Amino acid sequence: MSESLPAYLRRYREQLGENHESQIESTISTRHEFVLDGTSFISFLWSASALPWVYGGEYAAFARIVSGVLEGLMSCGIRTHLVFDGPTRSVDIQRSIKHTVDTQIGPSVLFHRTSQVARSSARFLNESSILPPLCYEACIAALDTLSYDCARYHAEGDTKRFCVELASKLNGFVAGSNSELVFYTTTGYQGYIPLDSLSWILPTKHDEILDQNDPDPAQFMVVNRGKKHKPVARGISPPPSDCIGISFFAYQPSRLAKKLSLPPTALSLLGAFLGNQLSNALPVNLYRQHFQKHHNDVIYVASVIEAALSSKARQKPLSGFILIRNVIDTLMWRPELLSSSDHDTMTSVIVDCTLQYVIEQPLGGPAQSLWPTKLCPLHPIDSCPLSLLKLIPGTSSESSLDSHHSLYSKAILSYIDAYWKGNLSPNIINLFDCGTFWPIIFLENPDQESCQVTVGRGIRLEIYKILGHFFQSQLPLLPEVGMSAPVDDLLKSSENSIYESPTQVTEYIRKGSSLSACPIILPEDVLHPELPVICQGDNDRLNYFLSAMGSCTPLVMSLPKECLMVVACMRWVVQTAVWSCPEAQLALYACLPGSETFGSKPILNNEKAIQHTAEILAAFENANYLRQVLLLPERIPHCAQHFSGMQLHSLFGWESFDVARLHLHANWSLCWHALSEGLDSYLAMVPERKQKQKLVKNTKSSPAVKIPLKPSLFTMLGDLEEDG
């Protein structure tokens, strides 16, 4: 009977790992290092929080949960390091398309194709849940509020590999939801911790019961003590106030290898056949025909590898390449029918998949090799796979970076610093790397055009123009020319471009119920004679952001910085979609920080509220990309942690609409005047614009035409009666 890897790990849990505990009184020497897979951590926390997803997200509550869990882990002697997904590699595009369709588009189509009564049930909402699109931004905002400095990273390539490399240098564990982490073996890596194995430890309770049959109270009293209660497993939610520690279970790769009678180094080959890399890299027909039936059979694949190793030991020394070919021939169905070219392709792919699980041993000890340079926490500059480093010409070491004083190099270094701090999305790195962009899709109506086109594309075009102009310029800054020098002096010191500006960006946008690649040809007017906006001062970049968002007005520029992005996004949404004045007023109130909850109970089946929520989230997402490209994280704080989808739906279902109630918010009146400035034609009381004129049908009825019946026996008899 075949058995998948997660089922196999659960079945032999006690033999493959051990339980650990960490108390609140833990000293620095007994602390544990946790490397958290950020994407798995966010998804698991959201599922465990039981927060409603269908309204668009409750990001303030989610941020409190994130900070509560991380503070609880730190108080129990666990230091956390979060690693988020990096840019989408070219080899992972097909996998990313399938993942987007399965997790974003599919549930959205199912929601809109289901009746209003059925989709309101708790079972339907649990089975078709979608992760709200701004959870990552809310998590980053929560990290900034912690009482300690929680390290955060973005993976350069494969997230699992980056987590294990980081854990090996920290002598720590990797916590996540991907069981493939048991295939990695390297010095310092302590093992894989499933997130669902974490549980808070509560103090043991004793029930003391006095024996009432004792006649003399002055003598010793007989006390019957109840059994000790086991620690209450509260999952990974914020710990209770009486928590005294945390327990977790860790799988150890060495024990897995021993259980399967394999050397630890052979786990990488086992992972190549059982992991997801093979199905993504091999052609579909080859994978389904030869390997799909073995994908969920841990014991059989391990026995084949063990037999190949045993035969290798009895014969002359063979190379690893021949060993892999022998394993392939055993697992394949009728390998004699496979052509030699397909056989070579299959072997090459499996070798590459095997190398994904092989990590070089660190030199000089685990702790000494962390942050070998200030630009990468794991690798030297010449071996770092981060594509941003390759954009600086002639950079092979940290000393060579110090010799680069150009505006171009300084901007790239600022991007690298923002990337490691979580202030530069991997979606932006995709533009540098493979020229792709992956907007998030949330609960969009499949019968309408995607909000990422109607609302988001205009903002993204500004991003493409900024980066295109930046690549074309590359203005080197001479020592005698400063950042505040006139533009003419900087232009005189320019050199010829080394890198070509990208002329096309491929956006992956929803079309109907599928995800389509939409090539965007960049216009030729991206070149401007002035200095690139990225290389300009903070005020100039801020003005460019407001101008690109259609919000460069005196009232908007005078707003507090925590309200700036909300108003700019709402102004953009009003100008690109169909909104009425009351709808814009209510949505602005729901997005502002410090808004009180009032209105009616959230109505799930309000189609207008669902559509407007998708439009607002698309504007927030793309405006966040624009502020990151312009390096404005401090001047324009993100507003994700203040948005409440339930509040928005409650206000949209508010029958007794009263504007005076909205004025109770301290900043609402100021923000509304800034939002509505110059947009009177867009903020109509009834959204009648952008509606196609219906064709006027001719109401005059044409005279009825009597169609003669075909001659039949009954008509012939009727004619005879009339003649008679």
Q: Which residue has the higher pLDDT, 692 or 461?
A: 461
pLDDT tens digit sequence for 489-529:
433 333 333 344 557 899 999 999 999 999 988 766 544 54
What residues contact residue 132 under an 8 Å CB cut-off, 6+ apart?
A: 46, 53, 56, 57, 59, 442, 617, 645
Of 296, 330, 355, which marks where a domain is finished? 355
C-alpha 530/C-alpha 523 separation (Å) is 17
Mean pLDDT of the region 672-680: 91
β-bridge pairing 514-521 and 504-511: antiparallel
Instruction: Give how far Cα 312 sits from Cα of 258, 262, 315, Å.
Output: 19, 13, 5
Specify the residue for token string 């080197």: 476
pLDDT at 681: 85
Asked if 683 and 574 touch (Cβ cutoff 8 Å), the reply is: yes
Q: Return the pLDDT at 519.
A: 92
118: in domain: no
* Residues 377, 291 contacting (CB under 8 angstroms): no
User: Residue 325 domain-assigned?
Assistant: yes
Cα 131 from chain centroid (whole Å): 9
Lowest mean pLDDT among 37-51, 186-200, 474-488, 558-572: 474-488
- Which range marks the domain in which residue 303 is found? 264-355
Q: pLDDT digit string (tens) for 147-175? A: 888 889 988 878 899 999 999 999 999 99
In the predicted model, what is the mean pLDDT of residues 136-151?
Answer: 91
Closest CA to 347 of 331, 330, 324: 324
The Cα–Cα gap between 382 and 398 comes to: 9
H or E element that contains 663: none
Q: Which residue has the higher pLDDT, 14 or 328?
A: 14
Mean pLDDT of 64-82: 93
How far is residue 697's CA from residue 578's CA, in Å, rounded to a whole number? 26
Q: List pLDDT tens digits, range 288-302.
A: 666 656 666 888 889
> Could you give the 3-state DSSP secondary structure of residue 79?
strand
Judge whether 304 lies within some domain: yes
Q: What is the rounded distance in angstroms from the CA atom of residue 56 to the CA atom of residue 645? A: 5
Report whether 359 contacts 282 (CB < 8 A): no
CA distance 194 to 334: 38
Sign of the alpha-carbon dihedral angle for 155, 161, 166, 172: positive
| Residue that the structure tokens 């209660």 belong to | 229
Q: How far from 674 is each of 352, 556, 643, CA to CA, in Å?
A: 56, 5, 19
Q: Which two tokens stand for residue 48?
A: 């465990």
> Residue 639 gets which letter from DSSP?
-
- Residue 340's pLDDT band, with cuts at 50, 70 and 90, is confident
Closest CA relative to residue 473, chosen from 523, 413, 406: 406
- Indicate if the alpha-carbon torsion angle 320, 326, 331, 334 is positive or negative: positive
Pairwise CA distance, residues 591 & 620, whole Å: 10
When comparing pLDDT for 493 and 179, which is higher? 179
Report the distance separating Cα 171 and Cα 168, nearest Å.
5
Examine residue 586 and state whether it is found in any structural domain, yes or no: yes
Domain final position from 355, 388, 407: 355
pLDDT of residue 599: 57
Does residue 704 or residue 247 have the better pLDDT?
247
Domain membership flag for residue 41: no
**Strand 32-37 with 78-84, pairing:** parallel
Q: How confident is the model at residue 432 (pLDDT cuts 50, 70, 90)?
A: confident
Cβ–Cβ under 8 Å, residues 281 and 352: yes
3-state helix, strand, coil in the chain (%, to 5): 50, 10, 40
Interacting residues of 515 by C-beta distance below 8 A, sequence separation 6+? 97, 100, 101, 105, 508, 509
Cα–Cα distance, 366 to 521 (Å, whole number)? 47
Residue 679 lies in a domain: yes
pLDDT band with cut points at 50, 70 and 90 for residue 28 = low
Residue 682 within any structural domain of the chain: yes
Number of domains forming the structure of the chain: 2
Least trusted range by pLDDT, from 249-258, 418-427, 518-527, 578-587: 518-527
The Cα 137–Cα 51 span in angstroms is 17
Nearest to residue 589, comparing CAs of 528, 531, 511, 672? 672
pLDDT score recorded for residue 308: 86
Q: Which residues pair with 519 in a beta bridge?
A: 506
> Where is the domain boundary, 355, 378, 397?
355
d(CA 394, CA 380): 15
Report the alpha-carbon distance of residue 573 to residue 549 in Å, rounded.
Answer: 10
Please state, in angstroms and rounded to a whole number, the distance separating the CA atoms of residues 387 and 415: 11
**pLDDT tens, position by position, 583-630:** 999 899 888 887 777 656 677 778 889 999 999 999 999 999 999 999
The whole-number average pLDDT for the span 629-656 is 86
Of the listed ranges 390-404, 433-447, 554-568, the least confidently predicted one is: 390-404
- Residue 21 belongs to what H/E stretch? strand 17-23
pLDDT for the residue 631 = 93
Q: What pLDDT was estimated at residue 112?
A: 93
Residue 604 belongs to some domain of the structure: yes
Cβ partners under 8 Å of residue 453, min gap 6 = 509
Q: pLDDT tens digits, residue range 617-640? A: 999 999 999 999 999 988 999 888
Residue located via tokens 């997230």: 159
